[in-house]
Amino acid sequence: MKLSIGLFSLVGILVSSIMGQQRPGSADFIVSTCKRSLLQLDLPSEYVLNKNVTFTAIDQYGSSYAIGDQLAIQCGYRTSPDLWGNITFRASLLSCFAQILDDQSTITLRIDIFPTWDKSASVSYLKQVTCPYAWDAREILCEMNYMEVSVRRKIPMIAESALQDEPEDWVAAFPEAVAGLVSIWQVVFHLPSTRKAMLVRDAQKIGYGINITESRMLLRSPYKTAETQLLNIGGVNFSSVRSTILYKQRWLILMIDAAVACPVDDVKFTKQLITWSVPKVILPLLIGASRLKNSRIAFGVDLRTLNSAEIANRKYGLVDNYLDTTVTVPVGAQGGYYKSHVSNGNYGITYSINVFLEHEWDDSMWGVTKHTIIKEITTPFDAQPPLIINGTIPTTKTFNVTIGPFPPDVQLINVTVGTETLTIPQLAARNYNLTTITYPNGSVAYRITVPFSDKNVKIEYIGETTRAYVLIVTFGFKIIPNNENFTCTTTIVSLVQDAVLPEPSGYCDENALNVIVKRGNVDTNWVPFVKNTLLTPGTAQTSGLVFTANSTHYTITANRYSDSVMYEDTSNSGIDCDTPPYTWLIVPMGNPWSTFSVSCSLPYLKKLIDCFANGTIAVTVLKLSTVPDMELSQLVLRDKSCRPVFYTSSAAKFVFPVNACLTTRKFTQTMMIYENDVYYYRPGVTEAAFKLHVACNYTTNETLILQYGFETPPTPSAQSAFGTIELVLRLSKDSSYSTFYGDSEYPVVKYLMDPLYFEVGLLYSVDPQLELFLDNCWATASPDKPAFQSGMVVVNSCEFIETFQTIFHPVVADSRVKYPSHLKRFEVKMFTFMNAGRAYLGEIYFHCSVIICNAVQLYSDPLCTKSCIPARQRSGRSAELDTDRHQYVSSGALLLKSDVPSSFRKY
Ligand SMILES: *[C@@H]1O[C@H](CO)[C@@H](O)[C@H](O)[C@H]1NC(C)=O
Ligand SMILES: *[C@@H]1O[C@H](CO)[C@@H](O)[C@H](O)[C@H]1NC(C)=O
Ligand SMILES: *[C@@H]1O[C@H](CO)[C@@H](O)[C@H](O)[C@H]1NC(C)=O
Ligand SMILES: *[C@@H]1O[C@H](CO)[C@@H](O)[C@H](O)[C@H]1NC(C)=O
Ligand SMILES: *[C@@H]1O[C@H](CO)[C@@H](O)[C@H](O)[C@H]1NC(C)=O
Ligand SMILES: *[C@@H]1O[C@H](CO)[C@@H](O)[C@H](O)[C@H]1NC(C)=O
Ligand SMILES: *[C@@H]1O[C@H](CO)[C@@H](O)[C@H](O)[C@H]1NC(C)=O
Ligand SMILES: *[C@@H]1O[C@H](CO)[C@@H](O)[C@H](O)[C@H]1NC(C)=O
């Protein structure tokens, strides 16, 4: 052993003399195992996770050599952390600083563990392990980071001091050797078309490990050097080095052929299967060999050979034939492990397994060769969208979401429900129930339950009676130990038929339209609008609207002149008392499918037209939905100087006397009608955009019809109302007709044959064009008009001279009488009725039937001729005409003074 010392000059290898500041502790947790031609140390992740771990080799003299990547390749070390954080360290039994005997190696290592941020806090452990091993004649090891070949050497090594340089011998054997310094030891690399010789120490400088032990010669090579060749063997690429190592011993030049070849792209993946195929006949290793015999294959995981039962049990496949050996490992099979990763924000997994394949054979040239290939296999990233299971049962009113399973390296960090992010401890404090489900294989799934009533659950109204409960939940995960983060968001929607809609109702009162909305449970989806105005409490008063809201109801009140009230004409057939214009208050509730309106027919509201008995007409004109641009301030009557006395944006009011503003009067067979029109002219347009016909109708049966109608082309329509006209039959105290008996003076007592001065008049009217005519006047013994005993006083507008010596008196204007045509006067003599020869001493009443005529067009109306017409010439009058146009008036009671002589005229 000591013979090898000094053969090497370790150039480029850091010789470290630093010892850990802390005393080496118990290294029991570091598991060391002799595995084939390797020593393996296992450092569990719990001791080394997120720590800096360094390995240092210590030689037999106590010198330490820090193992970096470069030294590891050259000297036969491999540090391989798995994805969980466990660290596996392997050292070749032929590694540089091992103490090697023929059948055993002793390896001494120092392991320093320290936090990444503080090297001074390191803890050092010493591990010295001796591994026995029975070497084959040739052993080839394909480690992950180096290739190693060792060959048994039959001739024992001699001391360096005994060697002499005899260059001439070299020249004879290998011309290449001449170029180099005279050396006892050289290596010749066989390249495809040439050879390359160098001194062993030069080869070591460029990364080769070449050494000689008592019984073996070894060459260690990186996978890629200038001297390695990439060879395709049986469809698989191999990295290969062929070399001859020469050294001179006494008079002999010894040559040892060292060839090594290791596959580099021999593993193929599908999503389900790993296939590893290695050719058996690797020609660079068989140069000079005639045949291959006693071929034996061993396959295993983590350097432990598996028997065929174990292989079958784990569902691996091993197919060995003359040409190659093919191993298949299903992704996920026992022996390997899954690891989670995040790639571009996506979650995915890899599967890793450490396998080896060992091929042992005999050949005529080399004897027994053992070719061992170690493969740390990791499948490519396989994106695996997390599985989310919606276990929500709507009737439980609780969301139930399960995410997973995940490999155990995935940890739930936080959960965002709606907009609120909670850590795991915070979740428990809320009414979210997080359950961790652990499966036998170590996978975990997480289940969260969230009540529908939670504030982070959104409730959306879908329509009809359905509400959607929406849970948006984001799970935040961390992958250990690499601390990659990913999130997974899911939206769960559960439809439940539990919507209670707002329930509107409405009513009208004299001045306003009212909408009352009973709130449901979907209020947040409902916003009350009136037209385009969003209603919020207290903001809408200016437009004639009052909006209030309490916990149970909304109330919207619109006064009749509010902008929000629309008038609509529903009648189109002229005057029709039963189908008045309607007013509408439309309240769309914010969603297109829900518009609510209250409508009132106008009689519910104050009358729009008033025809006063004194001949004044008051008309309210409303803005109609059909003429939206109508400027109510610009409305006029027939006389364009007559304008509204006031207006708002939705209504205008005119007040005018019947004898003004070009008001006309006409008579039909049953009525006397004052008429005017309200017009709207758009600026600069001579044709009216709007015409409203206004009429006040007086009927002779004491009924005044107020007619209100408008014409908005093309459908004219009208509206009517009713009122009374006032007539009076009074008794004057004398022929001057200046003072009359008042109500309290009746019954008036008169002597027989006393003159009675009666006056019939139209009260209040200011229309000079009216003329009142007496048709018939008569006396009765009762206040009812057609009484049993009656005496005619005026017949067919003629004085009835025969019975009561009736005399008409002309009426002239004076301070009391403004319109003489409104009055008629006549005089009769006091009388009484005779009954069975006795004078009737009870109350007597006078009655007249009256016709009101147009004074300027009397002759167009057969009823209105000025003078009396004899009965036979008036036969053209029909009975119904007589009754229709007539209006009746009665006097108060008169009494005959009883001390009267009994000489009477008989009636
Ligand atoms: C790796 O570490 C994990 C966690 O510390 C442990 O459960 C597992 O058995 C280790 N695996 C190996 C191969 O050492
Ligand atoms: C170990 O620590 C050093 C600093 O002391 C740092 O530069 C290096 O990256 C660390 N190595 C690992 C593997 O964490
Ligand atoms: C060669 O092997 C000897 C004996 O094992 C050892 O002491 C020496 O360090 C090795 N040199 C190299 C360069 O590997
Ligand atoms: C949640 O759903 C799963 C099925 O996905 C069910 O097994 C579990 O009992 C449910 N949990 C609750 C609390 O409803
Ligand atoms: C959480 O879930 C468990 C099991 O499903 C149940 O026993 C427990 O009552 C639940 N807790 C709450 C607050 O819902
Ligand atoms: C929640 O967890 C995710 C993933 O780990 C992380 O990216 C995110 O920052 C966390 N959110 C909060 C508020 O902590
Ligand atoms: C994961 O999130 C944590 C905080 O939540 C952050 O400190 C860390 O850097 C993140 N890691 C990655 C890989 O994004
Ligand atoms: C979740 O499950 C509930 C109950 O079965 C169902 O109503 C809902 O539609 C589901 N949601 C999704 C997004 O699958």
Local confidence band at 260 (pLDDT 50, 70, 90 cut-offs): very high
> Which of 108, 13, 17 is closest to 70 using CA atoms?
13
Residue bearing the CA closest to ligand 7, atom 4:
485
**C-alpha closest to that of 149 among 241, 78, 229:** 241
> What is the pLDDT, as a whole number, of residue 25?
59
- Confidence check: pLDDT of 450 > 80: yes
29 in contact with ligand 1, CB cutoff 6 A:
no
pLDDT at 907 over 70: no
Whether 804 is in the pocket of ligand 1, judged by its Cβ within 6 Å, is no
Burial of 685 from C-beta contacts in 10 A (0-12 / 13-18 / 19+): exposed
Instruction: Tell which wins on pLDDT, 904 or 888.
Output: 888
Q: How confident is the model at residue 670 (pLDDT cuts 50, 70, 90)?
A: low
Mutate which of 387, 388, 392, 399 for ligand 8 pocket (most atoms within 8 A of beta carbon): 392
Query: Distance (Å, rounded) from C-alpha 727 to C-alpha 704?
Result: 13
Residue-level pLDDT at 186:
84
pLDDT value at residue 519: 83
Euclidean distance between CA atoms 608 and 183, whole angstroms:
131
More confident residue, 882 or 39: 39
- The whole-number pLDDT of residue 602 equals 56
For 620-649, write each residue's pLDDT tens digit. 887 776 677 888 889 999 999 999 998 877
User: How many other C-beta atoms can be found within 10 angstroms of the C-beta atom of residue 799?
Assistant: 19
Between residues 764 and 94, the one the model is more confident about: 94
Which of 144-158, 470-484, 549-563 ranks highest by mean pLDDT? 470-484
Q: Is 213 in the pocket of ligand 3 (CB under 6 A)?
A: yes
Determine contact, residues 273/331, Cβ cutoff 8 Å.
yes
Band (304; pLDDT cuts 50, 70, 90): very high
Q: Between the ranges 158-162, 336-340, 465-469, where is the mean pLDDT highest?
A: 336-340
Task: Give the DSSP letter string of 47-70.
Answer: HHTTEEEEEEEE-TTS-EEE--HH
> Which residues sit opposite 60 in a β-bridge?
none
Any idea which ligand is nearest the CA of 416? 6
Q: Which atom of ligand 8 is nearest to the CA of 391?
A: 2
Q: Give the neighbor-by-neighbor strand order of the sheet with 664-667.
A: 574-575, 715-723, 704-712, 688-699, 671-681, 664-667
Q: Is the CB of 389 under 6 A from ligand 4?
A: yes
Residues facing 773 on adjacent strands: 851
Closest ligand 5 atom, residue 431 Cα: 13
Pocket of ligand 8 (CB under 6 A): 390, 392-394, 492-495
781 versus 720: which is more confidently predicted?
781
Regarding the domain delimited by 727-904, which CATH topology (the fold level of the hierarchy) does it fall under? Immunoglobulin-like (2.60.40)
Gap from CA of 414 to ligand 6 centroid (Å): 6
Q: Residue 327 has what pLDDT?
A: 96
Cα(43) to ligand 1 centroid in Å equals 9
- Return the CATH class of domain 616-699: mainly beta
Rounded CA separation 689/698 (Å): 29
Q: Which residues of 34-46 are buried (b: 16+ CB within 10 A; e: fewer)?
A: bbbbbbbbbbebe
Q: Whose CA is nearest to atom 1 of ligand 1?
A: 86
Query: What would the mean pLDDT of 480-492 be, rounded to a whole number?
Result: 90
pLDDT band at 875 (very low <50, low <70, confident <90, very high): very low
Ligand nearest to the CA of 49: 1
**Options 2.60.60, 1.50.10, 2.60.40, 2.30.30; which CATH number does 26-134 get?**
2.60.40
pLDDT in tens, 370-420: 999 999 999 999 999 999 999 999 999 999 999 989 998 899 999 999 989
Cβ atoms of residues 707 and 718 within 8 Å: yes
Where is pLDDT greater, at 66 or 875?
66
Taking CA atoms only, the protein residue closest to ligand 5 atom 7 is 433
Ligand 4 mean position to 392 CA, how many Å?
A: 7
Q: How far, in Å, from the CA of 433 to the mean position of ligand 4? A: 11
Share above pLDDT 70 across residues of the chain, in percent, rounded to a whole number: 76
484: CA distance to ligand 6 center in Å? Answer: 11
CB of residue 46 inside a 6 A radius of ligand 1:
yes
**Sequence-separated (6 or more) residues with CB below 8 Å from residue 75:** 57, 65, 67, 95, 96, 97, 209, 220
Residues contacting residue 648 through CB under 8 Å, at least 6 positions apart: 561, 632
The whole model's pTM is what?
0.61
Residue from 618, 622, 615 nearest 600 by CA: 622
C-alpha distances in Å from residue 30, one per residue of 26, 128, 231, 335, 860: 9, 11, 39, 21, 135
Stronger pLDDT, 324 or 869, i.e. the higher one: 324
Question: Would you state the structure tokens that stand for residue 112, as one six-digit string?
Answer: 């320093």
Query: What residues line ligand 7, using a CB cutoff of 6 Å?
Result: 483-485
In angstroms, what is the span from residue 399 Cα to ligand 5's centroid?
13
Q: Which CATH architecture does the domain made up of 503-603 adopt?
A: Sandwich (2.60)
Rounded to whole angstroms, how far apart are CA atoms 556 and 547? 5
What mean pLDDT is predicted for residues 842-856? 80
User: Is the pLDDT score of 143 beyond 70?
Assistant: yes
Q: To the nearest whole number, what is the mean pLDDT of the chain?
A: 79
Nearest atom in ligand 4 to the alpha carbon of residue 398 is 14
DSSP-derived letter for residue 701 is S
Q: Which residue has the higher pLDDT, 40 or 586?
A: 40
429 C-alpha to ligand 7 centroid (Å):
25
CB atoms within 10 A of CB 655: 15
159 in helix, strand or coil? Answer: coil
Centre of ligand 6 to C-alpha 413, Å, is 7
CA 400 to ligand 4 center in whole angstroms:
6
pLDDT band, very low/low/confident/very high, at 775 (cuts 50, 70, 90): confident
Is 377 near ligand 6, meaning CB less than 6 Å away? no
Among 325-334, 709-718, 783-792, which range has the highest average pLDDT?
325-334
H/E segment holding residue 618? strand 616-622
Least confident piece of the model among 96-100, 465-469, 594-598, 625-629: 594-598
Percent of the chain scored above 90 by pLDDT? 36
Does the C-beta of 352 come closer than 6 Å to ligand 2?
no
Compute the radius of gyration of the chain from its Cα atoms: 63
Q: Which atom of ligand 3 is nearest to the CA of 211?
A: 1
Per-residue pLDDT of 95-122, as tens digits, reads: 999 999 878 999 999 999 988 777 778 8
CA atoms within 13 A on the CB side of 295: 14
Q: Is 103 in the pocket of ligand 1 (CB under 6 A)?
A: no
> What is the spatial distance between Cα 816 and Cα 809, in angstroms, rounded to a whole number?
16
Lowest mean pLDDT among 193-197, 511-515, 621-625: 621-625
* Preceding amide of 425 cis, omega within 30: no
Mean pLDDT along residues 768-794: 74
Model confidence pLDDT, tens digit, residues 518-572? 888 876 666 677 766 777 776 555 567 788 888 888 888 877 666 666 665 544 3
Residue 11 confidence class, pLDDT cut points 50, 70, 90: very low
Which comes out higher in pLDDT, residue 499 or 707? Answer: 499
The pLDDT tens digits of the residues spanning 678-737 come to: 888 888 888 888 887 787 776 554 434 444 433 333 233 333 444 456 788 889 998 888
Per-residue pLDDT band at 151 (split at 50, 70, 90): very high
Q: Ligand 8: which of 397, 401, 472, 494 to mutate, most ligand atoms within 8 Å of CB?
A: 494
Q: Which ligand is nearest to the CA of 400?
A: 4
**CB-ligand 2 contact for 52 (6 Å cutoff):** yes
The residues near 701 (Cβ < 8 Å, ≥ 6 apart) are: 884, 886, 887
